[in-house]
Structure formats: C-alpha cells, structure tokens
Amino acid sequence: MKRAIILLTLAGACAAQNWPQFRGTGASGVADGKTLASTFNAEKNENILWKTPIPGLAHSSPIVWGDRIYVTTAISSDPNSEFRHGLFGDVEPAKDQSKHQFKVYAIDKKSGKIVWERLAYEGVPRTKRHPKSSYASSTPATDGKHVVAIFGAEGMYCYDPDGKLLWKDDLGVLDAGWFYDPDYQWSYGSSPIIYKDMVIVQADIQKGSFVAAYSLKDGKQVWKTMRDELPGWSTPAIYEGAPRNELILQATKFTRGYDPATGKELWKLGPNSEITTPTPIVAQGIVFATNGYAPRQPIYAIRPGGTGDLTLPDDKDSSEFIAWRKKSGGPYMPTPVAYGDYFYTVNNQGVLAAYKIKTGERVFQQRLPNSGGGYTSSPVAGDGKLYIPNEDGEIKVAKAGEAYEFIASNPLGEPMMSSPAISDGVLFFRAQHTLFAVGEKKQP
C-alpha cells in the first residue's frame, strides 16, 4: 500500500506542468496545453485565485515544481529602504546598507499558503545595489530534488523540497556594476540553471568574471572557466541537440558557446551592447541572443556547431552558423520569447515586435497601449497569447501570430519587476509586495 501511495505521488508530480528556472524550461517562457485567463484585476478580485504577501524587496521570479512554488527575497531592517521604478538613467547606487535577511520561501501552488521559509543569510550586504534593483534578483532553479538560490555576494544555497539545507557556497564578492566606474555598484542579477547533475553559474563582474559548474550533490566545483568580460546580468542557456550540446552565455564583448560538461569555449560572436541583460533562448534548433543598450542593439539567430570567431563582416547578415541577424531591435531588459513560428521582442518603452523565426523578417512593430512606466519583466506565452508586464504592474495581453492584436490591460496594483511563471493553466505574478495566482475562476 505504501509503495502504491509513493507511485501515485510521483505520478502526480510528473503530471504537473513545471516551471523550473528563470523563464521556465530552457528559459523559453512558454507553457501551452491549458486555457489561460485573458482578463484579470487584483483590485476587483477578477480571476485572482489567491494572493500571498511576501516581505522584503526582490526582483527574482517564481519557479514551480509539482505542487510547490519557490521564491526568494531580501528583507531590509530599514523600513524606508530605497526602491524606484520607471524610466530614468541614474547610476548612483541605492542608499541601503542596512542589515538584511536573505530568505527562501516554499508556497503551496493551489492555496498560496506558505509551506516553509528559510533564512539563508543575515547581515549587511557586501555590495551596493541600483535603486531600481534588489538584493534578491536571481531567480532560483530546481530539478524537483534540489532548490538552488543565489543571493549574489551573500552566497549560493541548496535546499531539498522540504527546506533542509543540503549545502551552501560562498561565491565571493560578485560585484556587478557600471563598467565606467567600479564605485557604482548595481548588484548581481544572473540566475543559476541546472544541467544534468550540475548547477551552472554565470558571474560577469568588475574583476574576475567566470562561468562555473557545481555538483548538485554537495556543491563542490566541477569546472570553472575565467572570462574576459565586463559586468552583465544575463542568465546562461542550454542548447541540447545535434550536432552537440552547448552552453550559451552572452556578455558585453562576446556571446560565447561552451561545452557544458567541461567549460571549454567553443565559439564567440560579437559585437554586443555595453550592458547585456536578456537571456539567450532556443527555438526550432536556433539560439537567439539579443541585447539593446544603445547604440548597439543586435539580434543574432545562431546555428549550433560553430567553432572559433563567428563574428560577421559588417556588410553581411548571415553565414554558415548565423541564420540571420539584425543590427537594431534588440531589447535592453526583457528576454524575448519564441512562440509558434514567430520571435517576439519588447523594448523598455513597451514596443512589441514580431519576426519570422526562420528568416528574421519583421512582420509587425507596435507600441502597446498606455505604455508608461517602463518594461523590465520578460514576456511569457501560452494559450495563443503573449503576457507582457510593465513596471507599473499592468499585464498587457496580446494575441500571438503574424498580425498584431491587443486583447487587454490587466492591473495588479503594485510595481512589478520580475517575470511571470505559468503552470497548469495558472499565471503566477510576483509583484513588489505580493505573489498573485491568476486563472479562470470556475463558475458555481
């Protein structure tokens, strides 16, 4: 009988639609197969299944495995801890050097009840942060057996699903900030990813940039590759398929491909923006790498398998290993999403553009309605729709496809900097103070 219960439990977990890292499986940002709510309103409680307050300030996104949601946060002892959202260009770090509690939460997916919370670290942060950033900007990652959270200079922590600390590791002072002046610290933001039995970390910082893999079993370093790179905030991506698996990292000097098993560099491609944030994504056997800090705003569609320097001459936009490129149009903050036959970008002013995945032909470019406040969150897709949050906490919904069609603007009532998660027909939005579950409410 006990064995039968265990088997049923495992079957239930396998049947759940998991969203195991930043932007879900493979950072794709896509989850299909269920109906998703097109309209919702937090103030009116329209299609809000539940909402759970989360203390502190964090821009990390929720992840989902089975019946659990995992989020991280950093709770300041200063009730007036600085945070500003919107479109501004200040470079001065936030005046927030108070003592913080760095925490990991597990939340029941159906009810929103907090199952457990764990204090990973307590102390004054080792670096400063940007007033628009947080000390918990890295999204955790899970394989269902391990939950790995990074708090930048405050370390990496691995828990089991019941909240038991399995191991922790001090990654050093991960100082990511303005490349012109190291005194302007903006805090670390890259998220860990899990590949087979390893967790992979990208750390592009002021001095000593690196990419490294650590054993999920005990946290011991498997390999480490130093990188001649400026500070960046992009998350690694994995391509799995012919002719070989590749680990793709983008940064200021080059987008690079590595052997994920050894950390050996395979290829590099440039030029890129001086600030790189969007995560590479994979669709239809093509790797997309984008960045959009002016004046360089490239979009690269890369075929895996290359070797050496893949950089194109200025007068060409394709080659054996570059399916196509655009010299402009790359987004500054939001990671793009590929859905169906189209590749979608959103810039930080709320302009949505769609390209054909195979050819790079742009089929539309349209500013979303009432697009004030800036766009930092990355769009997600499912049920034939695109969900595009802005920093004011309004979720714009547009129909996916060749023609632009706007559906609705849905207010959550709080600023929002993180990216949504999707699981089993429910959208999870982590706003400044609250985790929201959004779905079609069943009629009585």
pLDDT in tens, 331-381: 999 999 999 999 999 999 999 999 999 999 999 999 999 867 799 999 999
Between CA 407 and CA 38 the distance in angstroms is 7
State yes or no: pLDDT of 3 exceeds 60: no
Identify the CA nearest to 428 among candidates 367, 377, 375: 377
Tokens of 363: 């089929």
Beta strands in 42-98 (DSSP E): 48-53, 63-65, 68-76
Between CA 395 and CA 390 the distance in angstroms is 6
Over pLDDT 90: what percentage of the chain? 89
Amino acid sitting at position 401: G
DSSP, res 403: S
Between CA 154 and CA 120 the distance in angstroms is 9
State yes or no: pLDDT of 444 exceeds 90: no
Strand partners, 107: 69, 114
pLDDT of residue 370: 84
Q: pLDDT band for 15, please (50, 70, 90 cuts).
A: low
- Over residues 99-127, the pLDDT tens digits come to 999 999 999 999 999 999 999 999 999 99
Between CA 387 and CA 329 the distance in angstroms is 20
At residue 14, φ and ψ (nearest 5 deg) are -65, -30
Cβ neighbors of 132 (< 8 A, separation 6 or more) are 83, 84, 85, 88, 376, 417
Domain ranges of the chain: 18-88+96-438
Q: pLDDT band for 443, please (50, 70, 90 cuts).
A: low
Identify the CA nearest to 27 among candidates 335, 263, 390, 254: 335
Q: What is the pTM of this model?
A: 0.95
Query: Positive or negative CA dihedral for 230, 235, 236, 239?
Result: negative
Q: For the domain 18-88+96-438, what is the CATH code?
A: 2.130.10.10
